[in-house]
Amino acid sequence: MHHTAQHIPSFIQALAPVIDRYGYLAVIGLIFLEDFGVPVPGETVLIASAFYAGIGRLDIFLVAILGFIGAVIGDNVGFAIGKYGGHPLVEKFGKYIFLTPSRIQKVEDYFRKHGAKIVVIARFVDGLRQANGIIAGLSEMSWLKFVSFNALGAALWVGTWSAIGYFGGDHIQTFLHYQLYFTAAVVVAVLVYLAVRLMRKRRTAGTAKPSSH
């Protein structure tokens, strides 16, 4: 699919030199760095790269695949930092990404209560997206659980913003203007999916439970 390049939004024009010079490396590299706390515009790079795919300069499948890989690996680096570096390391460097000890404690408590849901939804919340893996590691979530739900969140996030960047064309600015609504719709869809999954799991467990005599 090719759009006309008559009107390229200003935020994409600002990233043009980076994408032109580094191409796919910018996609995977910047999303990877953003996902363990480095303050780089990973989401914007993904949308801009998908837009460039829409006008024929990049391949949308490679953009999506590399975006997904960068997101998953970056969050796993964050998880390792939280799990093995612990509170001393996170509190020492957390101030650079606005992770104060009190904020860390609040988010950590929330992770312990809501675990999987937060890992998926955090992907769509700026600020929480960057700290997601670190806090999951600190809260002692199992790695297998984290990597499963993190991959689901990354797939939804990459799919959503790649599609908007690719198909948005001249209307991409309008889509981004209503970004909050898009995010809310995706979050609701994720919550519904997780609720249905949990209900099925409980129903299956209830059916499998041996009856007492």
pLDDT single digits (tens) 156-177: 999 988 998 898 766 676 666 6
pLDDT value, residue 148: 92
- The whole-angstrom separation of Cα 132 and Cα 71 is 11
Q: Which residues of 156-185 are buried (b: 16+ CB within 10 A; e: fewer)?
A: bbbebbbebbbbbbeebeebbeeeeeebee
* Overall average pLDDT of the 5-34 stretch: 86
- The pTM (predicted TM-score) of the whole model is 0.77
Residue 170 carries which DSSP code? Answer: G
pLDDT value, residue 177: 64
| Confidence at 131, pLDDT banded by 50, 70, 90 | confident
- The whole-angstrom separation of Cα 71 and Cα 67 is 6
- Report the range of poorest mean pLDDT among 41-45, 56-60, 147-151: 41-45
Residue 83 carries which DSSP code? Answer: I
133 close to 38: Cβ distance less than 8 angstroms: no
- The whole-angstrom separation of Cα 70 and Cα 154 is 9
* Overall average pLDDT of the 12-39 stretch: 90
Selection from 31-40, 64-73, 95-104 with the highest mean pLDDT:
64-73
- The whole-angstrom separation of Cα 146 and Cα 143 is 5
- pLDDT > 90 fraction of the chain, expressed in percent and rounded: 30
| Confidence at 179, pLDDT banded by 50, 70, 90 | low
pLDDT value, residue 190: 67
Please tell me which residue, 158 or 211, carries the higher pLDDT value. 158
* Overall average pLDDT of the 73-84 stretch: 93
- Report the range of poorest mean pLDDT among 49-53, 176-180, 188-192: 176-180
What mean pLDDT value characterizes the chain? 81
pLDDT value, residue 171: 67
* Overall average pLDDT of the 34-52 stretch: 88
pLDDT value, residue 22: 93
113 pLDDT more than 80:
no
145 close to 115: Cβ distance less than 8 angstroms: yes
12 pLDDT more than 80:
yes
CA 26 centroid distance within chain = 16
CA 47 centroid distance within chain = 13
